[in-house]
Structure 1
Amino acid sequence: NGCFWPYRLHEHYGVELYRHKLMDIEKEVRLYRGLPWVEVKVRLRSRFPHIRLRWCFDLGFKGRYVASTAFGVVERRPEPREHPMEDWMDYSDGERGLALFTRGIPGHQVEEGRVYLTLLRSVDLLSYGDKGPIVPVPDALELDRDYEFEFAFMLHRGDWREAKVWTYALSYTSPPIAMQFDERRARGELPGDEYSFLSLDDTAILTCLKRSEDGRHVVARLYDVTGRGGEVELKVFRQPREVLASNITEEREDPGSTRLKLRPFQIATLKLAF
């Protein structure tokens, strides 16, 4: 159920909104065979100032609400207040639920039985009253500009853990990138139809894979996403000759292993040498 008109504007102005053509909106909805989510793309140009444009999911049932954050998942109570999310949120009653994935649209609001995703705000002041300093921002009215927003939603059974919502969210927000190469310049043969450079149990998320600051190791950083902890294994394309347990600043170097036992939402950093 998509609600596009700014809150109550149609009640105040009625057909005047259409007569003056204050907003151009184009919706594109895509379904793919084999994918459990529905993708939505919204293109719009607004000529109406001081509005908040949102997409509304009217679910009609009471539920619990969680949202992804940096290195974790936070549970919030449904209330008439907007919150940010990292790249996904979920609303479910334990038997059924709605998961929402976004590409760069963090603002959302959850009330009892309804989920709102904020697409666009039009303001001319950064703050006012007792909220902070009055700073004019005329460019933030966002008038006569072309915008394109992308998000996806998925209906599921059970709660967010049972549905493993984060695995689908990351598949949508971080799609694979196809690379083309010149076969004449290639060396060797590809190792079969499938080959994994790195894999990880789906109860953890890999957030970083890079060269260490000293240039001697490959750094892999991961965390437990379930909030329950447990054992995970990091598998790489070949066995590393050295594994060190480190920290975010890469200062600590203790003997480590690619088999880890993580605490709830624990962040783990490994240094690998090949």
Structure 2
Amino acid sequence: SPRIEYETKIEPLGKHYRIRALFPTSIRDGLIRHEIPFGIQERSPHEHVAQNWIDYADEDVGLALFNRGTPGNNVDDGTMLLSLFRAAAMEYKAPSAGSFNEGVAHTFQYAIMPHGSDRDVEIVRQGYAFNRPLVITKGGVSEFAQWNVAPDSVFISGLRRSGDTVFIRVYEATGATVKGAIRVPEGFGSYARADGLQRATEEFQRCDGSIPLELRGFEIGNFLLKEEE
């Protein structure tokens, strides 16, 4: 893996403080971008919530910082910061002792990945891999293992049964207009575009092993598939 992973364990003691992980860089006046649901957003140096990662880069090099459930990130004078723990409370409003978690063990996991220019697809992929690691289990080859999508900047974000159909949601992750296809397992005879509530928005048409794709940057595509009768 190109990621450098970290694990920090603490047992909080005291109150009204914050613990952060800092990663100094040699980049100055770089571009700060955060992953948001189904996209990437350029943001200010102040602390913001990032879905899986924040990236700080200039035209040549950059550093991606991946979080796992600790989404508060920012950049200060070339240093990337990740908030791990806040012992914060409003004691003048309500009892707040539980907010400090004193004596409760905590474990935080995060990672970084240095990179060159034009690495958005790999950053998104590594963000998914870090937050959704493979789970080992016994069993046969699932039919869902045969699903695939192209080009690389399109990701599957949802796949599930929906009545007598299968619903699949994909999105373009880097902001580029693309053409491609979703490869589907054998046994599906037709497909139709759908809305976010899993309702077909057009007539079903024949599926010959793949669904053609044409997506604008950050566009979400929803589809329903019917099995052959």
SS in 1 for 2:11: strand
- Which deviates more from structure 2 when the two are superposed, residues 262-271 or residues 199-208? 199-208
Aligned partner of 2:41 in structure 1 is: 74
Aligned partner of 1:46 in structure 2 is: 12
- Pair 1:141 & 2:100 matched: yes
Between Structure 1 and Structure 2, the one with more strand by share is 2
Aligned partner of 1:7 in structure 2 is: none
Aligned letter for 1:71? F
Task: Give the Cα–Cα distance (whole angstroms) in 2 for the partners of residues 110 and 94 of structure 1.
Answer: 17
Task: Give the Cα–Cα distance (whole angstroms) in 1 for the partners of residues 24 and 149 of structure 2.
Answer: 36
Query: Gaps (5+ residues) in structure 1?
Result: 1-34, 129-133
- Pair 1:204 & 2:162 matched: no
Quote the offset at 1:230 in angstroms: 0.8
Aligned partner of 1:177 in structure 2 is: 135
Q: Give the conservation status (yes or no) of the 8 Å contact 1:92–1:159.
A: no
Task: Give the Cα–Cα distance (whole angstroms) in 2 for the partners of residues 90 and 103 of structure 1.
Answer: 15
Query: Gaps (5+ residues) in structure 2?
Result: none
Task: Give the Cα–Cα distance (whole angstroms) in 1 for the partners of residues 135 and 147 of structure 2.
Answer: 16
* Larger gyration radius, structure 1 or structure 2: 1
Q: Give the conservation status (yes or no) of the 8 Å contact 1:92–1:98.
A: yes
Quote the offset at 1:118 in angstroms: 0.5
Q: Give the conservation status (yes or no) of the 8 Å contact 1:97–1:159.
A: no
Aligned letter for 2:212? R
Quote the offset at 1:142 in angstroms: 1.9
Aligned partner of 2:172 in structure 1 is: 224
TM-score, structure 1 as length reference: 0.74
Root-mean-square deviation (CA, aligned residues, Å) is 2.2
Aligned partner of 1:16 in structure 2 is: none
Aligned partner of 2:221 in structure 1 is: 268
TM-score, structure 2 as length reference: 0.88
How many correspondences in the alignment?
219
Task: Give the Cα–Cα distance (whole angstroms) in 1 for the partners of residues 149 and 54 of structure 2.
Answer: 22
* Percentage of matched positions with identical amino acids: 26
